Structures are given as C-alpha cells and as structure tokens.
Structure 1
Amino acid sequence: MKLSEIKDQMQKTIESTQRSFNTIRTGRANASLLDRVTVEYYGSETSLKALANISTPDASTILIQPFDRGSMAQIEKAISLSDIGITPNNDGQIIRLNIPPLTAQRRQELVKIASKYAEEGKVAIRNIRRDAVDAARKQEKNHEISEDESKDLQEQIQKITNEHITKIDELLKVKEKDITTV
C-alpha cells in the first residue's frame, strides 16, 4: 500500500466526516440539513435532492418544491420521520421548514452528535492505519522490504494518521463553535 493511497483514503474519511457535520443544524437554515433524508418514491429510496428543489430564502426557513406534486405526502412523511427534528408545513405547492432557534440543551445535544461523528471519522482513519501497518508487516515478513524499511514506513503511516486525526479535531472545534454561537 502506497503512502499516497493512505493519504487519499484518510482525506476521503475527513470529507465524509465534514459532510456528516453539515447535516447538523446550527440554528440557521441550510439545505445540507436534508442531505441524508431519503423518500420512499415509487417503491425505492430516493434522496430528497433528487425529488425537489431545495432553497433557503432567509436564515430561518427552508423551502422544498417537489418536481412531482404527487410526491408531497411522501416527502413530508420522510422529513417527519428523519432525525432533523423539524415539523414540515405543506401548503399544497411547497413544503416549508421553519428552523426554530436552538435551546441551550439542544445545542449540547448537537455538540454530542458532532463529537460522535468526529469519533466515527477517527475510528475510520485508525482502521486505515491498521490495514496499512499490517500490509507493511506482511511485506517485511515476506522479505519484500527490510525490518528498517518496515519501521520507517510504519512511522510515516503513524505521522499521516496523526495529521488527519488533528484535522478532524479542528473540524470538530469549528462545528462546536458554530453550534454554540447564538
């Protein structure tokens, strides 16, 4: 396994963690809150973004305008059942989501959720590290590389791992600040 491949995999993990952070609401309307909402549409799970135009006309409202008006009820149901905690308002043309201001207690819950996403990202990075170190040890065992080369490679892998875990910690700090700022 090449170091560049390890870096790429870890970078993808960081990007995935960032996308997870984007789904946490911070008291401001943001279309990415709905990224993980899927709708049962003609028998298959379809992302909400594929079924509707999503916009944020102001800081506290998200508008969802379905391409097919017949899917309004399914979209409304999917939002209600999702973990975003907002009740949709359907006027027959569009669905409105009014983003309420966050309470201090809800902010703390969201910080915990963000911490959970960060920890999942760190675990994924550590799994990549474990696989890479195992590959280096296997190469050493098969006499493809020397013991010193294996140790150097493992140290480089650990250094890359530490850098990427630090990046996740930085992203978490930014998200926590975003959530706790009133």
Structure 2
Amino acid sequence: MTKDVIANMKNHMDKSIESLRKEYQKVRTGRASTGLLDEVKVEYYGNPSPLNQVATLSVPEPRTIIIQPWEAKLIPVIEKAIMNANLGFTPANDGKTIRISIPPLTEERRKEIVKMLKKLAEDAKIALRNIRRDAIDELKKLEKDKQISEDELKRGEKDVQDVTNSFVAKVDDVLAHKEKEVMEV
C-alpha cells in the first residue's frame, strides 16, 4: 500500500521537474536555442500551428537560429508571428530562409534572469511539498482505515520525506545548471 502511494508521488514529482525543465527551455540565455520559439504559432491554412510544424528550425552557430519554411509563402507570416510573440528578436530573410540573431545579454539582464530562474525553482519546490503533503495525507487515511499499521505509517512518512529531499536536490541541480548557462558570457 505505501509503495503505491510513494510510486504515485514519484510520478507526480517527476512531472514537476519536467515542467521546470520546459519552463527553463523558454528562458533566453544569450545562446541560440530552437526552444525559444516553442510558443510561436503561425497561421497556416487558417489554423494556428506551432512554428516547428511548418518549418525546419536549426542552430548553426551559438547566436543564430535558422528557420527554413516548407513553403516560401510562409516567410512573411512567420516573421510577423515572431514579431508578435514579443521575444525581442528581429527576423531577417533572404527569400528562402529566416535568420534570427540572438543579441548578447547585459550583466544586469543576466542577473534579472537568474532571479526569475530562482523564483521558478522555488515554485517547483512548493509543488513538490504539496505533493509530499498529499502523499502523507493519503498514508494517514490508509492508517485510519486500518489498511496499514502505525509503524508502516511512520516508515512511509520517512520514505516520503526521503524521496521529497531527493527531488528538491534535483530542482537545485537543474537551477544550478541553468544559472551557470545564463551567467556564461
């Protein structure tokens, strides 16, 4: 019984860590990444479509993203979508491809980004603590319903705390990695 609760909790915590990683992918680090354009939607045959479904995205150089639309008529539509996404990029095209140059970040902007990263990490830790609380409540309910003993409850609570501590450490690792990436000039 307690193993099921802990397995369920680990599953939820894994999703929280994955969500944090996805949020961090969207953060601009001064280095080019196709993840920066994940939220850009392009009007394609009347439907808003993700940019990566109407063009090939590549990063040939550390500060350049190249977008090769599958249809040449999409170039102005893609440029407009990038401008409307308000990412701070100015796309340039040569008739076949769109080039985005990523400007270097200032020291002040890097520090602002690190603050934001720390806030996202703290939000992830809060989510982990909420998942821990739910798991402990579930264990207490099992004990109340006489499905597990008091000793099993105490062992389960200790296991839940150990798992939570390991996931909090993972959040710190993800934060440290991204912070290093942002502060790198």
- For normalisation by structure 1, the TM-score amounts to 0.88
- Shift of residue 98 of structure 1? 0.4
Matched, 1:93 2:96: yes
Q: Which runs of 5+ in 1 are unaligned?
A: none
Task: Tell me the equivalent position of 1:76.
Answer: 79
- Aligned-partner Cα distance in 2 for 1:83–1:129: 37
Task: Tell me the equivalent position of 2:122.
Answer: 119
Count of matched residue pairs: 182
- Shift of residue 23 of structure 1? 2.0
Matched, 1:166 2:165: no
- Aligned-partner Cα distance in 2 for 1:133–1:62: 47
- Shift of residue 83 of structure 1? 5.1
Q: Which runs of 5+ in 2 are unaligned?
A: none
Q: 25, 29, 46: which one pairs with 1:26? A: 29
Contact 2:59 2:65 in 1 (8 A): yes
- Shift of residue 173 of structure 1? 1.2
Range with bigger deviation, 151-160 or 88-97: 88-97
Range with bigger deviation, 86-95 or 60-69: 86-95
**Residue type at the aligned position of 2:70:** F
**CA 1:41–1:147 in 2, change beyond 3 Å: closer, same or farther?**
farther
Q: CA-atom RMSD, angstroms? A: 1.9
Task: Tell me the equivalent position of 1:59.
Answer: 62
Q: Deviations over 1:116-142 (max 9, x none)?
A: 321232222222212211211111121
- Shift of residue 76 of structure 1? 2.0
SS in 2 for 1:39: strand
**CA 1:97–1:133 in 2, change beyond 3 Å: closer, same or farther?**
same
The 5 Å alignment of 1:103-142 reads 103-142=106-145
Range with bigger deviation, 158-167 or 69-78: 69-78
- Aligned-partner Cα distance in 1 for 2:172–2:30: 22
- Aligned-partner Cα distance in 2 for 1:120–1:127: 11
- Shift of residue 56 of structure 1? 1.2
- Aligned-partner Cα distance in 1 for 2:125–2:84: 29
- Shift of residue 45 of structure 1? 3.5
- Aligned-partner Cα distance in 1 for 2:176–2:70: 38
SS in 2 for 1:2: helix
**Residue type at the aligned position of 2:173:** E
Q: 4, 9, 13: which one pairs with 1:6? A: 9
Range with bigger deviation, 170-179 or 31-40: 31-40
SS in 1 for 2:42: strand
Range with bigger deviation, 86-95 or 100-109: 86-95
Once the two structures are aligned, what percentage of the paired residues are identical? 46
**CA 1:115–1:39 in 2, change beyond 3 Å: closer, same or farther?**
farther
- Shift of residue 144 of structure 1? 1.1
Moved over 6 A (4+): none
